[in-house]
Amino acid sequence: MPNWLKDAIFYEIYPQSFCDTNGDGIGDLPGVIKKLDYVNQLGCNAIWLNPIYDSPFMDGGYDVRDHKKVAPRYGTIADAEKLFETAHKKGIKILLDLVPGHTSDKNPWFLKSKKAAKNEYSNRYIFTDSVWESPPQYKFICGVCERDGNYMVNYFSSQPALNYGFYNVTHPAWQLPCTHSDCAKTAEALWDIMDFWLQKGADGFRVDMADSLVKNDEEKIGTAAIWREIRKKLDTNYPQAALVAEWCHPERAILNAGFHMDFYLDHRGNGYSTLFRFEENGENHSFFSPNGKGDISVFAHEYGYNLHLTEGKGYISLFTCNHDIPRMTRTLDPQAIKLAYAMIFTLPGVPFLYYGDEIGMRYLEGLVSKEGGYSRTGSRTPMQWDSSQNLGFSSAPAKKLYLPVDNAADAPTVENQKNNPDSIYKVVTDIIKLRKENPSLGNDGSFEFIYAEANQFPLVYRRGEFTVFINTFQNAVSLDFDFGNSEVVYSFGVFSFENGKAHLGGQSFVLVK
């Protein structure tokens, strides 16, 4: 286990929307370098950087054309190396985004795979043996290749699936078993990409769709075997390199596949979803909604079970948001968001803060899809730094910006939130500071739910010598609690401790030692 993960707090940066230094309307790597001190000031000591590789950008860079080249919009390999070097001097680690399941259809591997003549890349992707063969249980693109066959895609038509084989072969004419030597070559090519960037100074990878490699692999046995081999290579060659899986199945990702971390993703109806973004029949049923219709027990059951299962073996990572889901501002008011972030940063595991969430950036509705963003586009708008042109993101004319900035008169910026005692920024930085100063609140600290009952409030849990009270309901609530010699370490909202009870006003947070 990389020792730096014990106190890691990540900041996710969508590079095209973070800071533009050359005035072309798109963020770049020099912009990330420029803002490293800001990341430090938040209390974050690690960055997850969304894909920076060369790409035609049909899916925001998750369609990679050249894994060993930086997209010109962001800069050069030299800029990436400077970012790693500068970040390390400031005590910041950098995880790159790894896209192992597919490439762009403009990738040279795929262009060769499409050829009719057999070559070393013919089995790098998954093709049927005939243009007339297109089984409906898979997603194929038909009739666009010189080669007689159709190719499988993972998501968009521009994302042909790499061939790691099939765990259960159902169409032997064109499906290779995952033990086939050509499938092993795909895994070797993946390691070659990782090795390239680790040599350049990257500190590891967030792995996109980590469970998607081997097909017809319901239990993910074949996929886990590939990652275990990669973990062995990491442990031997780069023991301080970290891997976080986009998987949302800690048993498979951490215990079976060997990842150091696994994201708790926003899958409808799961524990994470029911906290912040859960709607039923058009009504908010999130636990952090003040309307009191949320249920913490779904999260408590899932999270508690998986935390116990993976204790000492890896970390469950919760994020405030990411580039794939709406910001919390779409469904929650600022006070609810403060409570949500206070919880995320007082739970065990490695937390992730999405750029702009610390200032309460809004999810911008009604934007035309940009580079495959679709509904995700509203969460990918430019970072809002100050009151200058384009809210400090870029000197380019507004019409040239990657996406528009929030043009509301009250748009939050770092400048107008940083010194506001009532801001989300204040809560985020306060809680992160407490977390860093108190190991019991950190990534490895002990954890126990004290009160997490279905349709009841407040939520209470213990972290070592600390007890956390969170009332997300708009009405005041009370709970038996022997305050004794305890002291209130941090709070916002209204509360009191008397007559053997804890009294919390609506939407209140209290941290007791």
Tell me the CATH number at 92. 3.20.20.80
Domain count, the chain: 3
Q: Which of 389, 419, 437 is the last residue of a domain?
A: 437
Strand partners, 354: 12
497: domain CATH number is 2.60.40
Domain boundary residue, one of 385, 405, 437: 437
In whole angstroms, what is the distance from residue 241 CA to residue 324 CA? 25
In this structure, the answer to whether residues 124 and 95 fall within a common structural domain is no
Residue 370, classed as helix, strand or coil, is coil
Q: Are residues 121 and 213 in the same domain?
A: no
Asked, as a colleague might, if the bond just before 51 is cis with ω within 30 of 0, I would say no
- Say if residue 218 is in the same domain as residue 266: yes
pLDDT tier at 341, thresholds 50, 70, 90: very high
- The CATH number covering residue 145 comes to 3.90.400.10
In a domain, 175, yes or no: no
Q: Which amino acid is at 74?
A: Y
Q: Shortest CA distance to 223 belongs to which of 180, 252, 261?
A: 252
291 and 368 assigned to the same domain:
yes
Q: Let me know if residue 174 belongs to a domain.
A: no
pLDDT (mean) for 285-300: 97
Spatial separation of the C-alpha atoms in residues 215 and 178, rounded to whole Å: 9
Q: Are residues 220 and 124 in the same domain?
A: no
Position 379 scores a pLDDT of 98
pLDDT tens digits, one per residue of 374-415: 999 999 999 999 999 999 999 999 999 999 999 999 999 999
Tell me what percent of the residues of the chain surpass a pLDDT of 70. Answer: 100
Choose the final residue of a domain: 128, 163, 198. Answer: 163
Distance of alpha carbon 217 from alpha carbon 172, whole angstroms: 15
Q: 150 and 20 in one domain?
A: no
Instruction: Name the nearest CA neighbour of 346 among 458, 504, 466.
Output: 466
- pLDDT tens sequence across 49-85: 999 999 999 999 999 999 999 999 999 999 999 999 9
Could you please report the per-residue DSSP string of 157-196?
TT-BBB---BSS-S-TTTPPBTTSHHHHHHHHHHHHHHHH
Q: What is the pLDDT of residue 494?
A: 97
**Are 321 and 376 contained in the same domain?**
yes
Query: Are 75 and 151 found together in one domain?
Result: no
Contact 478, 510 (CB under 8 A): no
Structural domain includes residue 8: yes
The three-class DSSP label of residue 143 is coil
H helix and E strand count, the chain: 12, 22
Which pLDDT tens digit goes with each residue over 205-234?
999 999 999 999 999 999 999 999 999 999
- Let me know if residue 169 belongs to a domain: no
Domain residues for the domain of 474 are 446-512
Round the average pLDDT of the chain to a whole number and report it. Answer: 97
**How far is residue 466's CA from residue 108's CA, in Å, rounded to a whole number?**
55
- Determine what percent of the chain is predicted with pLDDT higher than 90: 99
Indicate the helix (H) or strand (E) that contains 456.
none
- Domain assignment present for residue 338? The answer is yes
Rg (CA), the chain: 24
Q: What single letter denotes the amino acid at residue 438? A: N
434 Cβ neighbours under 8 A, 6+ residues apart: 346, 441, 489, 490, 511
Residues 191 and 125 grouped into a single domain: no
Q: Are strands 315-317 and 261-263 parallel, antiparallel or unpaired?
A: parallel
If 0-12 CB within 10 Å is exposed, 13-18 middle and 19+ buried, where does residue 430 land?
middle
Taking Cα atoms as reference points, which of 40, 21, 41 lies closest to residue 31? 21
Q: Stretch 319-331: mean pLDDT, rounded?
A: 97
Burial label for 212, CB within 10 Å (0-12, 13-18, 19+), is buried
Look at residue 188 and tell me if it is in a domain.
yes
At residue 128 the predicted structure's pLDDT band, cuts being 50, 70 and 90, is: very high
DSSP string, 110-134: HHHHTSSS--TTTTSB-B-SSTT--
Same domain? 300 vs 363: yes
Residue found under tokens 């600022």: 334
Helix (H) or strand (E) holding 32: helix 29-34
56/132 same-domain check: no
Residue 82: both structure tokens together = 């400077």
pTM here?
Answer: 0.97
Structure tokens given for 326:
């709406």
Which of 102, 231, 113 has the alpha carbon at shortest distance from 182?
113
Structure confidence at residue 245 (pLDDT): 98
Q: What is the mean pLDDT of residues 247-251?
A: 98
Within-domain flag for 171:
no
Q: Are residues 109 and 83 in the same domain?
A: no
What per-residue confidence (pLDDT) applies to 110? 98
- The confidence band for 271, taking pLDDT boundaries of 50, 70 and 90, is very high
Whether 172 maps to a domain, the answer reads: no
